[in-house]
Each structure stands twice: as C-alpha cells, then as structure tokens.
Amino acid sequence: MGFRARVLMAAVVPVTVSAIVLVARGHVPLVGVVDALLVGLMVGAGMALSLVNGPLRSITRLRISTRRIALDSGGDAPPEKGGIDDLDQLAAWLSAVSRHVRRSLREAREREQETEAVFARMADGILLVDGDLRIRRLNPAAAEMLALTPGRALGYTVIEATMLHSLDGLFREAMLAGATRMRRLETIQPRRRLLHVLVTPLEGGVRGSGAVAVLQDLTEFDRVERVRRDFVTNVSHELRTPVTSIKVMVESLQRGAIKQKALREEFFRSIVEATDRLAQLVDDVLALARIEAGPGRLEWQPVALDQLVRETVAAQVPLAREYQVELTAETDEPLVVTGDPEGLRQAIANLITNGVKYNHPGGQVHIRLRRTEEEACLEVADTGIGIPPEHLSRIFERFYRVDRGRSRELGGTGLGLAIVKHVCEAHGGQVRVESVVGKGSTFQMTLPLTEAAPAPLSDRATDH
C-alpha cells in the first residue's frame, strides 16, 4: 500500500468508526449519518492529501537526488521498481549510498596506509616544507641523510633543523623561481655525505604553498668513482715506469751500448726484469678485474682446500729457498669450500709470497689450515719485518705500499693484498691481519665450508 493510501486510511477510518458508534447508540438517524459521513470523508481526504502532497514532493525530489548520487558514485544502487513507496525507495537508495561511502572510506584508508608504507621505506629522502620553509613532513631516509630526528624536526625551518645554508638557499631559489632546482650538497656532521637534492615548488610555484625536496645519497657512488679514478691513475703510473725503463735501455743499446758486453748484459737483464714486472702488473690487473666483475665470472665448484694449500706451498718452495726462508705447512684436516680454484690459489700464493719476500734470511713462514665452527681458517704467519700500526687499515687498498721503494725492488705490483681481500669477499669470507714491527705478521683468511665432494684440482700451480 502506498504512502498516500495509508494517509487516506488514517483520515477516513476514525470518521467512519465514530459514525457507526453514533448510529448504534441511536443518537443520530442513519440517513443523516450517511450524509455527514460523506461530507466528512471528502473534507478529511482533501485536508489529508493537501497536508501530505508537499512532503511527498520533497521526498520524491530527495529520492531522485539520492539515486543520482548513488549512480554517479558507481555504487551498487537498487533498480527502480514500480509500486514501491517513495519512502521505501528512498531508504533503499540511502542504504546504497551508505554502502558506497563505507567502501570508499575503507579504500581510502588502505591507499593511505600503502602511501605511508612506501613513504617510510623509500631509499630516497623526501622533505616537505611550507611557504615559510618550515618542515611539515620527512621520511626516515631524509632524516638519516640530514642527521635529524623526525619528531623534533617538524615545525622548525630548514636552516634551524639542518644548519645547511646551501639547502635552505636551494629551497628559496626554487620557490622564488617557481621551477625545479637541483644541486649537489655536502654535509659534514655526523659524517661526510654527498647528496643530490632536487627541489620542486608545489602548486606551480606559488610561494605560500611550499615545496618538496628529493634527496639521493651519492656518498658511496662518489667513493667508488674516486677509487676508479685513482685506480686508473695508479695503473697508468705503474705501467709507465717499466715501459719508460725499457724504452731508455733500448735507445741506449741503439746508440752503441750494445757493443759493450758488460753494459749490454746489464741492459738485457734490466729489460727482462722490467718486462716481467710489466707482465705481472697486467696479470694482477686482469685478475682483480675478473674478481670484481662478479660471481658470474668465477668458476664455482667444490674445492679441497687442504689439497689446494699443499699444492700452492709446494710451488713457493723455490722462492723461499732463494730468499733463505723456511716454509712449513700444517694442513692435516680435509676441508672443502665452494669457490673458484684459481682465485683461491692466487690469494694463498700472494700471502705466502709476501711472507717470504718481506722476511729476513733465516726467517720462517708457517701456513696453518684449520676448522673453526662452520668456517675454514687459513693462517699465514711470518717472522719478517712487520707492518707499522698506522698502515694496517690501508694495506688491502689497491696500489697501497708501506715501503714503495722496497716493494718495487722486490717486484711487487701493489695489488697482491687487494686481490686477497676481493677473493675472500667474493667467497663470503674475510681477511684480517695482526702485525708487530720487527717480529712479523699473521694474515688470516676465513671461508665458509661446504659438505659437497671436492672436484679434482689441476696439478698446475701458480708461481708468484
């Protein structure tokens, strides 16, 4: 039954009931009651309808508007059905809008949580300021790069929070120009960082709306780039020295020195030494490049480390005899690692070679291979000249020499210990050193063990 019908019933029923009561009691003649009843019904119905038509029109308009909102919002609104009262239809549409609003709020909260998660985990720093350059938001990456505590930095100006005039000036420049500005900035405290900062004004550069900065930490990239430049410079210098020596001696021979036997033999010996040094340098550079190229360039296989150590020690015996140094090894326990046999062989040989060459006549070099929990530990201990404490932190750098003159005299390239370090790191291990000047040094390599059966090793050993 529709809303209008219910209103008419509400108006007619009381009048009819009252007339019936009067007739039953005999107070009023039936004919008079009927006439009065008809008049009352007409008047009551007219008044009822006049009273409800206004609200009904409002309800109809509200229902139509609600339906339009539900459809425009993409909600699952119920279809219009003939015969359904306006209030019932309005309730259905309001229910549909309510469901859509709840779903929209839930999706908005989920999007906000996702945005916050991305914001918090971004590797790049994000710094948001208002028109007065007061910090409104910053993510953990920005806080770390600028040495800030997020809770304490909020509300402070950029210069108050960071004390970086260069960063403050970059924000002002971008906001004044209404365009993106970028620059490399350097921080000192608590440690040196090189940052690439890109500042973009918000809302087309309106000064009152603020700006957002994206910060990238280039510190490691800059360090690697400097290492690369230094490496190229050092390689060029190391190559130039033997090449220049060979060139000078060949020119001297051409100018007549070849006719003097003693001088000729000395020059030939020097040319051979310079050529050997040049070849050794090229070999070490190539070996280092191969290791640094990544695991894909290495020949991974199970390696019997005890057997590899014995073979490498045997290959160094002639060198030890030449320098009058006793070479001993302790490799009783079979140990297997997964690695690159040639890389491991070269690293072990470099440690033994250094122990022999930087030793005294009558000195000793002892090699010991043992198990420590889940690692293989190789120790190379010598009784040589030792390393001053101030040099210990840098001896694994490329081309770093404690005594440059003696290193070149002994045929060193300055890359031996750098190769040892990179080989250990490529195999998931470490290398450490302890040294006392005048008493000797102990180098320790640790490598993770494996349970796989070892592959047979080549009988060829690398002589250094």
pLDDT per residue rounded down to tens, the chain (464 residues) = 555 555 545 555 555 545 555 545 555 454 454 555 454 555 555 555 454 555 556 556 665 666 666 566 555 555 555 444 556 665 666 676 667 777 778 877 877 777 777 767 788 999 999 989 999 989 989 988 998 887 778 889 999 998 899 999 999 999 999 899 999 998 887 788 999 999 999 875 444 589 999 999 998 888 888 877 887 887 887 788 888 888 888 988 888 888 888 888 888 888 888 888 888 888 888 888 888 777 777 888 999 999 999 999 999 999 999 999 999 999 878 999 999 999 999 999 999 999 999 999 999 999 999 998 889 999 999 999 999 999 888 889 888 877 765 555 555 678 889 999 999 999 999 999 999 999 999 999 999 988 654 555 544 443 33
**What is the pairing mode between strands 375-382 and 364-372?**
antiparallel
pLDDT score of 49: 47
Whether residues 362 and 391 share a domain: the answer is yes
Reading the block at residue 311, the tokens are 């073979």
Reading the block at residue 186, the tokens are 């350097």
**Residue 463 counted as domain residue:** no
Omega before residue 318 within 30° of 0, cis? no
Question: Among 292, 319, 346, which residue terminates a domain?
Answer: 292
Residues in Cβ contact with 359 at an 8 Å cutoff, skipping those fewer than 6 apart: 323, 325, 365, 382, 383, 384, 385, 440
**Residue 284 counted as domain residue:** yes
pLDDT score of 207: 47
SS3 content of the chain, % helix, strand, coil (to 5): 55, 20, 25
Whether residues 149 and 282 share a domain: the answer is no
How many Cα atoms occupy the beta-carbon half-sphere of 329 within 13 Å?
22
pLDDT score of 80: 55
Whether residues 302 and 413 share a domain: the answer is yes
pLDDT score of 295: 73
User: 329 forms bridges with which residues in the sheet?
Assistant: 367
Contact 347, 284 (CB under 8 A): no
Contact 294, 343 (CB under 8 A): no
Whether residues 425 and 401 share a domain: the answer is yes
Rounded to whole angstroms, the Cα distance separating 161 from 457 reads 61
pLDDT score of 209: 80
Whether residues 284 and 346 share a domain: the answer is no
pLDDT score of 460: 40
Residue whose structure tokens are 């469901």:
99
Whether residues 203 and 311 share a domain: the answer is no
**Residue 435 counted as domain residue:** yes
Reading the block at residue 155, the tokens are 């509300």
User: Which range marks the domain in which residue 46 is found?
Assistant: 3-104
Backbone angles phi, psi at 326, to 5 degrees: -80, 130
CA 156 to chain centre: 29
Task: State the amino acid at position 184 in one-letter form.
Answer: R
pLDDT score of 78: 56
pLDDT score of 30: 47
How many Cα atoms occupy the beta-carbon half-sphere of 91 within 13 Å?
5
Residues in Cβ contact with 184 at an 8 Å cutoff, skipping those fewer than 6 apart: 194, 195, 196, 197, 218
Residue whose structure tokens are 């500042």:
199
Q: What is the CATH number of the domain that holds 136?
A: 3.30.450.20
Rounded to whole angstroms, the Cα distance separating 79 from 93 reads 9
**Residue 438 counted as domain residue:** yes
Residue whose structure tokens are 């921080």:
187
Whether residues 153 and 42 share a domain: the answer is no
pLDDT score of 364: 95
Contact 382, 364 (CB under 8 A): yes
Rounded to whole angstroms, the Cα distance separating 410 from 230 reads 23
Rounded to whole angstroms, the Cα distance separating 229 from 410 reads 26
**What is the pairing mode between strands 336-339 and 193-201?**
unpaired
Number of domains in the chain: 4
Residues in Cβ contact with 397 at an 8 Å cutoff, skipping those fewer than 6 apart: 418
Residue whose structure tokens are 């030449």:
322
Task: State the amino acid at position 441 in one-letter form.
Answer: S
Backbone angles phi, psi at 340, to 5 degrees: -95, 110
Backbone angles phi, psi at 417, to 5 degrees: -75, -30
Residues in Cβ contact with 3 at an 8 Å cutoff, skipping those fewer than 6 apart: 52, 56, 85, 86, 87
pTM of the model: 0.57
Contact 308, 341 (CB under 8 A): yes
Question: Among 43, 77, 104, which residue terminates a domain?
Answer: 104
Reading the block at residue 179, the tokens are 């365009």
